[in-house]
Structure 1
Amino acid sequence: MDTLDCMRTFAAVAAQRSFTAGARQVGISTKLASKYVARLEERLDAQLLHRTTRSVTLTDTGQAYLERCIALLDQFEELEDVVQQRQQQLVGPIRITAPTGLGSRELVQALQPFQTAHPDVRIELVLSDQHISILEEGVDLAVRFGTLKDSSLVARKLTDMPVVVAASPNYLAAHGEPKEPHALSTHNCLLMTASSQPEVWTFSQGRRQIAVTVTGDFRANSPRAVVNMAALGRGIGRVPEYAARPFLESGELKQLFADRGTVNMPLYAVYPPNRHLTTRIRALIDHLAGAFGG
C-alpha cells in the first residue's frame, strides 16, 4: 500500500469531510479509503480524524498534518511534471465531464488526436446533462456551455458555439413561419434547460442585441431531445448547431432567422483552482482550445 496513495486519500477525505465523497474524488471504494486512512494513522501512530456516523472532522494533529501533506502532494505532482516535460511525454489519468450531446461526438472527435499523440494519458469521460460537482466527483476538467455559476472554479473559454433556431416544415405549415424574432412569443417554443436563461432567446441585429422572452409546453436538459421534438413538429427549438445539423441537412428542420444571427453559446473548460495544475491537464486544455477554436 503506497504511502502517497494513503496521503492523497486522507487529503480528499479531509477536504470532503466524508469517506464516501473523498473516496469518490480519488476513484476508489469507501472501504478502501477507510483502510488507507487507518493505515496512515497506524504508520504515524496518531489519530488524524474524528469519525462519527454523520461526519468526519480533523483532529488537531490531523489539521497540522493536512497542511504539510497538501504541500508535499503538490511538490510530488510538480516533480512528476518536471520529468514528463523533460521526456516530452504526458502520463496519467484525466477525468472529464461534459454534456451528453457534445461529449458523445464533438468532444470525442477532439480528444482522439490528443490520445493518439499521448498514448500514456488515460481519459475517463463522464457524460451528464446535469452539472455534477467537480470537487465532490473527483473531476479534473468539465466542458460546459454558458456562464460560469460557481465562482470557486476557473474557466477558460474554448469557443463560441453557433446556435440555430429551427422548426419542422409541418409545424411551420400548420402555425405559420415567424418572420421576426419577436413573433416567437406567439409560438410553442421548446426550451433547453441546460442554458442559463432557457426562456430568453437572444439575437444580434447589427451592432445591438435583442432579447425575446418565449414560452412552450416542452423543456429538456439535452439539446438532442429538443431538436428531436422539433423534428417531430411539436414546436420551435433553439439549439447548438451541431445538434441540429443532421436534421437541417435532411430537410426535417428548417432554420429560421438565418439572416438575423442568433447569439452564440460560449463553451468553456472548467476546472478546480488547484495549487498546481498538472502538465497533462494544461496540455489537454490547450489542445481543446485549438480543436474547438480552430
Structure 2
Amino acid sequence: MDKLDCMRAFAAVAAQSSFTSGARQLGISTKLASKYVARLEEQLGAQLLNRTTRKVTLTDTGRAYLERCLPLLDQFDELEDVVQLRQQELAGPIRITAPTGFGSRELVEALQPFQQAHPKVMVELVLSDRHLPILEEGVDLAVRFGALKDSTLVARKLCDMRLVVVAAPSYLAAQGDPAEPEALATHNCLLQLTSPKPDAWTFGKGAARRAVAVHGSFRANSPRAVAHMAVSGLGIARCPHYTALPFLRDGRLQVLFAQQETDPAVLYAVYPSSRHLTARIRALIEHLAGWFGPS
C-alpha cells in the first residue's frame, strides 16, 4: 500500500470522525480506508485512532501526527498542481459546503460551466443551513453569507446580495400598501428563521439604520420558502433578492421600501488559512468571483 494513500485515508477519517464518511470523501470503500489506516498504524508502531461503534476519535499520538501530516499532503497536492498547470488540465476532488436554498439552485448553476470546462474535477456539494466546521468536516471551500467570525479562515468576497421586502399584489390589494416600515406592525409578516433576528427587520443605513418589530403566522428556515409563501398572498416577506427575483420578473411579487433598504448581505468564498489552495480550488474561486461579481 502506498504510504501517501494511507496518510490521505487517515486524514480523511480523522476529519470526518468516521471511516464511512472518510472513505466517501476519498471515493473509496470503507473496508479499504480501514486497511489504509491500519497499515499506517502498523508502519508507525502506534495507535492513531480510538475506534468505537459510534465514533472515531484521535489519540494524542494521532493528533500530533495529523498536525504534521496535513502540511505534507498539501505539499504533495502542490506538486500535482505544478504538473496540472503545465498540462493546463485540472483534476481531483473539491468538497464544497453552502446554504441549502442558495446552494441548490444559484450555486449549482454557477458550478455547471466550471465542471463542463474541467470534467476531471470531482465536486462534492454538501448543503446545510448551519455553518459546518471546515477543517473538521474536510471541507475545501465554503460559500457563505455574512461576516467572517473565525480568524483561522480566509474569506474572498463574491458579491453583495440585496435584502428586499416583498409582497404579492393580491395581498396589498386586500390589506393595503404600508406607507412606512413602521406600518408593518399591522401586517402579517412572513419570517425567515435563519436571519439573526427574524422578528426585527432593519431598514436604512448608517445613522439612519433602525429596526422594526414584526410578527406573523408563518416562519421557515428557508428564504425560498418564505418567498414562495409571499407569492400566495399570505403576507409580506423579507428575503434575499435572488429568492424573489423570478417572481419580481413576472409580477407575482413587488418590492416595498426600495429606498429604505438596509445593508446587503455579503456572499463569501471561505477556506482555511492554514491549507494550501490547490490549482483547482483557486480556479473555482476565480470562477465564482467572476460569476457572482458586479456584472
Q: What TM-score does the superposition give when structure 2 sets the normalisation length?
A: 0.85
Written as runs of structure 1 = structure 2, the 5 A alignment for 1:1-294 is 1-14=1-14, 19=19, 22-23=22-23, 26=26, 28=28, 30-42=30-42, 44=43, 46-49=45-48, 51-53=50-52, 56-58=57-59, 60=61, 62=62, 65-204=65-204, 208-293=208-293, 294=295
Q: Which amino acid aligns with 1:290?
A: G
CA distance in 2, matches of 1:149, 1:126: 21
Task: Give structure 1 stretches of 5+ with no counterpart.
Answer: none
Identify if the C-alpha distance between structure 1 residues 6 and 195 changes in structure 2 by more than 3 Å, giving closer, same or farther. same
Task: Tell me, in whole angstroms, the C-alpha distance in 2 between the residues paired with 1:280 and 1:88.
Answer: 11
Contact persistence 2:15–2:138 (CA under 8 A) = no
Change beyond 3 A, Cα 1:154–1:28:
farther
Describe the superposition over 1:37-94 as per-residue Cα deviations: whole angstroms up to 9, x where unpaired.
112223x16123253536533364x566445433321221111112222233221111
- Asked if structure 2 preserves the Cα contact closer than 8 Å seen for 1:98 and 1:143, the reply is yes
Alignment partners' CA distance in 1, 2:37 and 2:210: 56
Question: For the aligned residues, what is the CA RMSD?
Answer: 2.7
Letter in 1 for 2:97: T
**Residue 233 of structure 1, CA deviation:** 1.8
Does the 8 A contact of 2:188 with 2:235 survive in 1?
yes
Cα distance, 1:96 vs structure 2: 1.7
Query: How far off its partner does 1:101 sit?
Result: 2.9
TM-score, normalising length: structure 1: 0.86
Asked if 2 retains the 8 angstrom alpha-carbon contact of 1:21 and 1:136, the reply is no
The structure-2 alpha-carbon separation of the partners of 1:270 and 1:48, relative to structure 1 and needing over 3 Å to count, comes to same
- After TM superposition, give the deviation of residue 290 of structure 1 in Å: 1.6
Q: CA deviation at 1:237?
A: 0.5
Structure 2 regions of 5+ residues with no counterpart? none
Write the letter of the residue equivalent to 1:245. L
Give me the identity figure in percent: 68
Q: Distance in 2 between matches of 1:177 and 1:82?
A: 60
Alpha-carbon deviation of 1:130? 3.8
Q: CA deviation at 1:227?
A: 0.7
Q: Deviations over 1:116-165 (max 9, x none)?
A: 33232222223333433433433221212223344443322111012221
Quick check: 2:159–2:268 contact (8 Å CA) kept in 1?
Answer: yes
**Partner deviation per Cα, 1:8-39 (whole Å, 9 max, x = no partner):** 12234445665456446545555443221112
Q: Does structure 2 conserve the Cα–Cα contact (< 8 Å) formed by 1:171 and 1:235?
A: yes
CA distance in 2, matches of 1:48, 1:114: 41
**How far has the Cα of 1:259 moved from its partner?**
3.1
Which is worse superposed, 135-144 or 148-157?
Answer: 148-157
Which amino acid is 1:47 matched to?
A: A
Aligned residues: 292
What's the offset of the Cα at 1:289? 1.1
